[in-house]
Amino acid sequence: MVKVSPLAVVEKGAELDEGVIVEPFAFVGPKVKVGKGTVIKSGAYIDGDVEIGKDCVIFASHIGVEPQDLKYKGEETKVIIGDKVKVREYVTIHRGTEGGGGITKVGNDVLLMAYVHVAHDVFIGDKAIVANGVQIAGHVEIGEFAVIGGLTGIHQFVRIGKHAMIGGASAVHRDVPPYTVAQGNRARLVGINIVGLKRRGFSKEVIKALSTAFEMAFKTEEPLQVALEKVKEEFKEVKEVLEFVDFIKATKRGICQA
């Protein structure tokens, strides 16, 4: 059964699945689709082409509004939000742009804390945590299980790898490889995310291999590409190390310095 407060506005055309709750003073636009069991709390404003998965909780936030991109001319773009996502107070999630693929996407089991800004064409992977006040510019990619510390700013087109950790109040202007920790203004790599990997059940062998790979890649006088080939050869059986190497090789913005 769908429960919509008489003090809420749900426009004709909106699709609300079984068990959806819309609290007073929320607004749901005509192109919005909301999955089973999701709660839209008081003050939420959801408009444009937006798909929200099941069992989400949306606090007083703006989702699906036009992107802050001067090249945007009103083209049809969208926001996709996965299952079990929690969007806290005053988060903004903007629609994509034609030049960026047209979709802003948030994966499953993601937590966006208060005052987070998710700009156009951003991708956030499953189970990522984005803390209070983080500002994510357009076209950013954040991998699964990444943790972004509060008050951090992330530059356009930056990629943050899976299981990475960004320290609070950082300014991230270049890519951050998977499994690493970066912090500071400008952000620098400080090592492997050992605590996070232990918490997620990675073996001691994998963590040690990643730590050694990090030292080989960034604590040497050799050119980075030469060092990465040596890392790849030594740890060719370790999937996580190969992901670490391939991510760095694919960078377009460059990698944060260590």
Could you confirm whether 133 is annotated as catalytic? no
- Which of 47, 49, 69, 121 does the annotation list as catalytic? 121
Domain contains 192: no
- Give the residue from 98, 123, 139 where a domain finishes: 139
What is the CATH classification number for the domain harbouring 34? Answer: 2.160.10.10
Looking at residue 66, what is its pLDDT? 97
Domain contains 147: no
* Domain identity same for 134 and 203: no
pLDDT average, residue stretch 194-200: 98
* Domain identity same for 135 and 203: no
Q: Is 107 helix (H, G, I), strand (E, B) or coil?
A: coil
Looking at residue 121, what is its pLDDT? 98
Neighbour tally for 198: CB within 10 Å? 12
Could you confirm whether 120 is annotated as catalytic? yes
Q: In the structure, what pLDDT confidence band is assigned to residue 234 with cuts at 50, 70 and 90?
A: very high
Looking at residue 229, what is its pLDDT? 98
Domain contains 243: yes
Structure tokens at 141: 């990619």
How large a percentage of the chain has pLDDT more than 70?
A: 100
* Domain identity same for 16 and 113: yes
Domain contains 52: yes
Domain contains 256: no
Domain contains 172: no
Q: Give tens-digit pLDDT for 145-192.
A: 999 999 999 999 999 999 999 999 999 999 999 999 999 999 999 999
Could you confirm whether 121 is annotated as catalytic? yes
- Which of 100, 138, 150, 196 does the annotation list as catalytic? 138
Q: Give tens-digit pLDDT for 50-86.
A: 999 999 999 999 999 999 999 999 999 999 999 999 9
What is the CATH classification number for the domain harbouring 230? Answer: 1.20.1180
pLDDT average, residue stretch 34-42: 98
Q: Give, for 199, the enclosing helix (H) or strand (E).
A: helix 194-199
- Which of 94, 117, 120, 163 does the annotation list as catalytic? 120
Place of tokens 């068990």: 19
pLDDT average, residue stretch 87-98: 98
pTM score above 0.95: yes
pLDDT average, residue stretch 217-225: 96
Looking at residue 46, what is its pLDDT? 99
Looking at residue 160, what is its pLDDT? 98
Place of tokens 């006040």: 133
- Give the residue from 115, 139, 163 where a domain finishes: 139
* Domain identity same for 134 and 212: no
Number of independent structural domains in the chain: 2
Owning domain of residue 116: 3-139
Domain contains 78: yes
pLDDT average, residue stretch 130-157: 98
Q: In the structure, what pLDDT confidence band is assigned to residue 125 with cuts at 50, 70 and 90?
A: very high
Domain contains 129: yes
Distance, CA of 120 to CA of 133 (rounded, Å): 17
* Domain identity same for 17 and 104: yes
Looking at residue 70, what is its pLDDT? 96
* Domain identity same for 24 and 124: yes
* Domain identity same for 134 and 235: no
Q: Where are the beta strands (DSSP E) in 119-253?
A: 123-124, 129-130, 135-136, 141-142, 147-148, 153-154, 159-160, 165-166, 171-172, 180-183, 188-192
